[in-house]
């Protein structure tokens, strides 16, 4: 069956069209993205601005038309941190759904972590043992861990690369102040994860981690999704120092960095380094599957 998964993230709107069936992996057929940067379209009252809502509605309408043009019979639509945390979230969702005719839902942070964990578990299988899964988005950091398909712990923290860039670096706070805030926030929650024991496999997902790994020497996407990619802490720590003195124009020229995300790489690198330090990880393996695949896999399981 051909299906569409519409992900309204804090940075990007991403429609993934797949050919899916139970008992096999979803096969990507088409992708349609738009840089919405909703995390940066939150006003001082923490409401999505009129411009942000307008961009969102326009993209969702276009994404539905794109999915239908590709023959999708089902579209699973969801929104994450930027919409979830907005004070006008209900009004935004109602407007999007009324205009587009879709049923856009807001995921909780815990569900976001849980479904990303499911995708990573299916990708690596049971031989991965106790998994630790880390995902830096535009609005939040998700952490999940456990030996099964459902994690023992699923956490979400307001440490997304876009959010931190807007609220700290763009607001004139220093990198040292941001570093302390990030580490203190993760440290307050880390004990709950570590109480379950060490990880047999530590995995990172999504764009920020993929970009950091690529900058640090991992294979490009052109080499296919089955190439093993890792992010090593020693390489990441060196990159954090390098980024400190680089302009955004210089950062976007690095391998694996898009123009829309270049300004967020300093904050994303600080969160990634803090995560690896506080969980005592020398490397993170990069998984090509993440939240969109988790949403799809759970839907197929319930058919």
Q: What is the mean predicted confidence (pLDDT) over 270-289?
A: 98
Q: pLDDT band at residue 41, thresholds of 50, 70 and 90?
A: confident
Which residue segment(s) compose the domain that 89 sits in? 2-106
Judge whether 301 lies within some domain.
no
Q: What pLDDT does 180 receive?
A: 98
Q: Which residue has the tokens 């926030």?
A: 185
Q: What is the mean pLDDT of residues 83-92?
A: 96
State the Cα–Cα distance between residues 263 and 252, nearest whole angstrom: 8
- 257 & 153 share domain: yes
Same domain, 218 and 168: yes
Please give the pLDDT value at position 105: 96
Out of 59, 86, 106, a domain closes at 106
Please report which confidence band the pLDDT of residue 21 belongs to, taking 50, 70 and 90 as the band edges: confident
CATH of the domain at 179: 3.30.420.150
Using alpha carbons, select from 278, 284, 273, 279 the residue that is nearest to residue 228: 284
Q: Which helix (H) or strand (E) holds 210?
A: helix 206-215
The DSSP element (H or E) to which 35 belongs, if any, is: strand 27-35
Residue 262 has pLDDT above 90, yes or no: yes
pLDDT tens readout for residues 201-243:
999 999 999 999 999 999 999 999 999 999 999 999 999 999 9
Mean pLDDT of 277-288: 98
Whole-structure pTM value: 0.96
Residue 303: its pLDDT value, please?
82
Could you give the 3-state DSSP secondary structure of residue 141? strand
């Amino acid at each position: 069956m051909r299906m569409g998964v519409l992900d309204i993230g804090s940075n990007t709107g991403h429609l993934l069209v797949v050919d899916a069936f139970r008992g096999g992996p979803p096969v990507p057929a088409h992708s349609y993205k738009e840089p919405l940067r909703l995390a940066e379209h939150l006003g001082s009252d923490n409401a999505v601005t009129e411009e942000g809502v307008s961009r969102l509605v326009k993209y969702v309408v276009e994404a539905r038309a794109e999915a239908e043009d590709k023959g999708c019979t089902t579209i699973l639509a969801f929104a994450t941190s930027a919409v979830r945390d907005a004070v006008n979230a209900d009004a935004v969702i109602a407007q999007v759904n009324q205009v587009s005719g879709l049923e856009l839902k807001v995921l909780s942070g815990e569900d976001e972590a849980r479904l990303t964990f499911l995708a990573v578990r299916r990708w690596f299988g049971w031989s991965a043992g106790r998994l630790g899964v880390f995902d830096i988005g535009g609005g939040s950091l998700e952490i999940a861990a456990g030996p099964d398909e459902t994690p023992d712990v699923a956490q979400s923290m307001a440490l997304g690369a876009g959010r931190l860039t807007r609220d700290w670096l763009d607001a004139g706070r220093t990198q040292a102040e941001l570093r302390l805030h990030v580490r203190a926030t993760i440290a307050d929650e880390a004990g709950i994860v570590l109480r379950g024991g060490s990880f047999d496999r530590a995995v990172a997902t999504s764009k920020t981690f993929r970009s950091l790994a690529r900058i640090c020497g991992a294979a490009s996407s052109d080499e296919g999704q089955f190439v093993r990619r890792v992010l090593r802490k020693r390489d990441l720590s060196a990159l954090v120092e390098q980024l400190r003195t680089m302009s955004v124009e210089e950062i976007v020229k690095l391998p694996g960095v898009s123009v829309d995300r270049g300004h967020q790489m300093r904050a994303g690198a600080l969160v990634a380094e803090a995560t690896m330090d506080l969980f005592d990880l020398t490397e993170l393996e990069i998984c090509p599957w993440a939240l969109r695949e988790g949403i799809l896999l759970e839907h197929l399981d319930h058919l």
